[in-house]
Structure 1
Amino acid sequence: MVNDLTVVKANSLIEASYRLTLDEMRLLALTIGTMDPKSEQQIFEFTVGDFVHKFPEVSIDNAYKQIQMAIKRIYDRSVRTEDSERVTEFRWVSSRTYFKKEGRFRIAMTNEVMPYLTQLKGQFTQYQLNHISGFSSVHSIRLYELLTQYKRVGERYISLEDLKKWLQLEERYDRYNNLKQWVLTPALTEINDKSDLFIEYEPIKRGRKIIGIEFNISYEKPIKKRPKFPHKNNYGKYVKLDTQNPKMSSHEYGVYARDCLNILDEHYSSIEDVTTEDLRNYLVFLAVNDSFKSKLGTKNTFSDEVKVRGFKIVDCELVKI
């Protein structure tokens, strides 16, 4: 399967009313991402491994049961589109199959939904599947799609009424503060942390009542500074690094290194984001004790990244190659 899948949807489908679980959304995104918008293919087959590979939030231990449940329910799901002249409802899929003991499943899209996925129905929006693959909420995916429609414009106003309709929340969150706390803040945090977009927003009032939200859409994510390491004096008088052989550093330095590793791992989410100086810090702290670990990889992972950036480590210091 191609690593970079592109999801293409008609804008009218993005703004349609429908209710799906997170796994059903993932299932459809994987299907649409695999689809050639110019082809007439309607039947798609995947493995559980394909699903887990594209959505790293899913545990392989739970994937079989999650996919079985999503496959079972998606057959009964429908989508509702509306314009000034008509309201139309149709199903997403015409058949679904889960192959027992094979970890394989098949989906057939309906004739009615295909024009919304093959660039035959109005204006379209597209995005990379990996931009939503780390999301853990249906609201994050739907809000991302609504905002990525306008990423070239850079801003979008959405009335509170439309937003709640598109997110299937018409009967919930009468108070804006509750909607903000339970829907907007978690969804936008995921979008800002895990996607290609950075979103800021401002509630729009009419009198004292909030009637909509103005979203500002950009690619410029603010650079968060890493928290400072604790002062070595907090660990005693003999916090000493042995630059020739870090494993021979003092016990106090080992405790200091462990705490600094935790700070680095809490701050960085991928090795590409790590500054070159902090790559050095990772390598030094990991070298102090073989039991020390990082969520971003092993010592070799960081050593390889340092070389890619044109450096090597000599006596615990960065040296240009």
Structure 2
Amino acid sequence: MKINKKTENQLVRQSNKLLEAPLFKSTVQIKLFCKIIISISESPDEDVYWFSIKQLLDEINSNEKNYKALKEIAESMKKTEDINILLDDGEVLATLFPNIFIKKAGLIGFQVNNLLKPFIIELSNGNYTQFYFKNIARLKSSYSIRIYELLKQYEKIKSRKISLNELRYFLMIESDKYHQYGHFKSKVILVAQKEIEEKTDIYFEFEEIKQGKKVEKINFLIFKNNKNYENLPISEDIKKLDADKKSDLEGLAIFKTLVDEYKISKKIALKIVETVSEEKIIRNIEYTKQEYKSGNVSKNLTGYLVDAIKNDYANTVSLFEIDNKKKEDQVIKERKLEERREELRSKFSLEFGRSEKEKFLNSLSDAEKEELKNQILEEVQLDSMSVSLLKKKGLSSPIAGMWIIKKIPQFELRRDQYIKQKLTEAGF
């Protein structure tokens, strides 16, 4: 009986067809399945894959720390519906784990259906996705893990556009859960975005694609997360590169430039060309050369270049410019919003005033209106222009309006309440 050992820094490698199949919903189930995938990759001829329960619970960062909990999880995996993997010419329907064994010695074994193995060990033409188990080990949300897997699949393309319906399918979210997009965004996408950036080797931004006012698709923009990528050991990184892939990288002109001209070690150069775009490497080479000519680089040109590529020194100035532009745009945006707010405030104030004056005057008899007019004339008798306007337009004149407002109970309080309500309805 072979007991599978610690696999934190080993690769999870699976066919894209298997990756896209929604098999498990819980965080522990998904992590456990990834551990089984690793074991199949290492020992494809085994019938049952055995694990130490204690070590397994520790490695998958499970809150459950006892055998009974893992037994329940394993049973739930066995009860999971059969595999349904869509292929170009049909689909595979099969039981994932015919049997699951638990021994008193603290071991758990998964008998794997042989139909699953070709999706793990017979991989070619790049139609597969791989990542270090370490990247998902600390993720707490099952949605974060699944989104991470889906984005790793498209990492080289740098973006992935997925409809909301597809995303819900991949994540196994019931139709009555997070029905409102706002809830789906806050509970699924934003949680995954934060977790993935904090704990994995990639991060993402996203764009909402709308049809009318409704969000229909999400365009995920995928970036290499250098701060966490650095935590992966170079030796393991290079060791797990396919032999042909490593050969291809070493054949690149940019790799030879880094090694031959700038004396960067092959291990570091391999890591650079595999994880950094050629455009970024070249611009930082040019930047480093310019800095060296200007006397801003010490004798360690090689070390400076590696740091420049890692931190993208060449793009620092433009990033500051972008940041300043964003701040300027924000100030302009806020100023325009304030101007619009004031325009609406004036509009709503006039609107309320006209309505209230009209209601007040309609409540008066003709005799009361005449008496009010005479009261106002008496108040403004020293202002000949006001008297003239009042006599000409009566109580509809602007002069009369000022005095009418004084007669309306709690006019200012109710006006302010009206303006506040209308501004809220307008989105302010």
Q: Structure 2 counterpart of 1:64, which letter? A: Y
Q: Distance in 1 between matches of 2:89 and 2:139?
A: 35
**Deviation digits for residues 34-93 of structure 1 (CA, Å, limit 9, x no counterpart):** 2326833342111023213422x325x724232111122211223322356534322221
Question: Any idea what SS the aligned residue of 1:132 has?
Answer: helix
Tell me which of 9, 14, 20 is aligned to 1:9: 14
Distance across 2 between alignment mates of 1:200 and 1:218: 8
Q: What TM-score do you get using the length of structure 2 for normalisation? A: 0.48
- Give the structure 2 partner of residue 310 of structure 1: none
Q: Percent identity?
A: 24
SS at match of 2:210: strand
Whether 1:51 and 2:56 are equivalent positions in the alignment is: yes
2:190 maps to 185
> Which runs of 5 or more structure 2 residues have no equivalent in the other structure?
229-428
Identify if the C-alpha distance between structure 1 residues 178 and 221 changes in structure 2 by more than 3 Å, giving closer, same or farther. Answer: farther
* Kept after mapping to 2: 8 A contact 1:22/1:138: yes
More strand by share: 1
- Residue 218 in 1 paired to residue 216 in 2? no
CA positional deviation for 1:167 = 0.9
SS class of match (1:75)? helix
Residue aligning to 1:18? 23
Cα gap change, 1:66 to 1:23, in 2 (>3 Å) = farther
Secondary structure of residue in 1 paired with 2:179: coil
Q: Is the 8 A contact 1:192 1:221 kept in 2?
A: no
| 1:107 corresponds to 2:110 | yes
Structure 2 residue aligned with 1:80, among 84, 91, 96? 84
The aligned residue for residue 134 of structure 2 is 130
- DSSP 3-state at the match of 2:205: strand
Once residues 83 and 6 of structure 2 are traced to their aligned partners in structure 1, the CA distance between those partners, rounded to angstroms, is: 28
Matches of residues 28-67 of structure 1 in structure 2 within 5 Å?
A: 28-36=33-41, 39-55=44-60, 57-59=61-63, 62-67=65-70
Pick the structure with greater CA Rg. Answer: 2
**How many angstroms apart in 2 are the aligned matches of 1:31 and 1:153?**
28
Residue by residue over 1:101-154, the C-alpha shift from the partner in whole angstroms, topping out at 9 and shown as x without a partner, is x22111111122111111358711111111000011211111111000011111
* Other structure's SS at 1:62 match: coil
Q: Which runs of 4+ in 1 moved over 3 A?
A: 220-223
AA in 1 matched with 2:159: E
- RMSD over equivalenced CA pairs, Å: 2.3
Which has the larger share of helix? 2
Change (3 A) 1:149 1:63: farther
Query: SS in structure 2 opposite 1:98?
Result: strand
Aligned counterparts of 2:158 and 2:164: Cα–Cα separation in 1: 19
Equivalent of 2:150, from 146, 151, 174? Answer: 146
Partner secondary structure for residue 117 of structure 1: helix
Q: Secondary structure at the match of 2:74?
A: helix
Query: Match of 2:279?
Result: none
- The match for 1:175 is 180
Residue 71 of structure 1 pairs with residue 74 of structure 2: yes
Structure 1 distance, partners of 2:68, 2:193, is 29
Q: 8 Å contact 1:115–1:121 — kept in the other structure? A: no
Change (3 A) 1:41 1:49: same
Unaligned 5+ runs, structure 1: 224-321
Distance 1:218 1:201 in 2: 11
Size of the aligned set, in residue pairs, is: 220
8 Å contact kept, 1:155–1:217: yes
Given the two structures, how large is their TM-score scaled by the length of structure 1? 0.63
* SS at 1:174 equivalent: coil
Moved more, 29-38 or 102-111: 29-38
- CA distance in 2 between counterparts of 1:127 and 1:166 reads 18
Quick one: distance in 2 between partners of 1:144 and 1:34? 21
- Residues 1:181 and 1:216: Cα distance change in structure 2 (over 3 Å): same
1:159 lines up with 2:159 in the alignment: no
CA contact (8 A) 2:6 2:59 kept: no
CA–CA separation in structure 1 for the residues paired with 2:10 and 2:87: 30
Change (3 A) 1:34 1:48: same
Distance (Å, rounded) in 2 between the aligned partners of 1:162 and 1:43: 34
Structure 1 residue 22: deviation in Å?
Answer: 2.1
Q: Shift of residue 20 of structure 1?
A: 3.3
Displacement of 1:26 after TM fit? Answer: 1.9
**Cα deviation, residue 24, structure 1:** 1.7
Q: How does 1:158-307 map to 2 (within 5 A)?
A: 158-171=162-175, 172-220=177-225
Q: Please report how far the alpha carbon of residue 180 of structure 1 lies from its aligned counterpart in structure 2 after TM superposition.
A: 0.7
Letter in 1 for 2:72: M
Mapped contact 1:91–1:113 kept (Cα < 8 A): no
**In the aligned structure 1, how far is the partner of 2:45 from the partner of 2:227?**
42
